[in-house]
Structure 1
């Protein structure tokens, strides 16, 4: 009985402290000496964090006959090899989320487009930093989550945009196709150039 009471008291003492720990529901994050919060306008974020190192924009929804009706912007900040790359996601003119990616990189990593760099999980920002802009891009739509529900009724999948970037591999007969979903590499494919190129 005494042990149970002690555990409950300890829980009541520790519980309020958990609300202020990072990553426990607090949506604000530090950018230099300022705070940035979900819901902030892009101009407010740029005033506090400076201009992003890279911005990627792509569609999130299309309507047949109308075209793109929704877009997402990813802003990347690279603090160098001693800090984590940050990706800020904006939708509808508001900051929606912030993600810390792997360690940043220095400028001497630019141009290192070796196969070892082209792995699943690499961000679109890292792709451009290592390999430059692709020679061609396109967006396709992929259905995820389709199938039957518990009652056996067909459930259509959610369409998500998939970016495909094409890179030339120098004077060889090959090209690389990079597939990305939500700004991260999901697949790398090497294809042969058509004859006559």
Structure 2
């Protein structure tokens, strides 16, 4: 009889951890993964557009013209890959301009620089006034915070007809602009 209480005690000791774990709610590994990813800090560059200017001389141009905006950018995140070219898209309203020189050299953390870019205006653009804006890293390949990647330049860019006689005398050219 003495053996029975000892055996019961041993069985109870061996089973008690299993009983305790059975009372613990099951773990959701997917939820753990999501919460770990959501709480972790991503490390990488954060390009912030500080200023965009279009030359006054270029604020009135024609289809096919070229704009040379001056852009001031800072990397407020961590270092970027050395010798990496960061793409910059440019727009007149919602029309994408054709990049001639539409990229800048990657920046180390804390560095701020001003550079000039070059974009061609499509020949098919309608005449009128447009807001000029740029978007850094449009493919979102390196920049960790895209909320500060776009900025509009002050003022408007006017697309006007050329001053040559062939356009002035062309009735079909003016269709829709009267």
| Range into which the TM-score falls when normalised by the shorter chain | under 0.3
Q: Look at both structures and tell me which one has the larger radius of gyration over its CA atoms.
A: 2
Higher strand proportion: 1
TM-score by length of 1: 0.23
Greater RCO, 1 or 2 (C-alpha within 8 Å, sep 6+): 2
TM-score by length of 2: 0.25
Higher helix proportion: 2
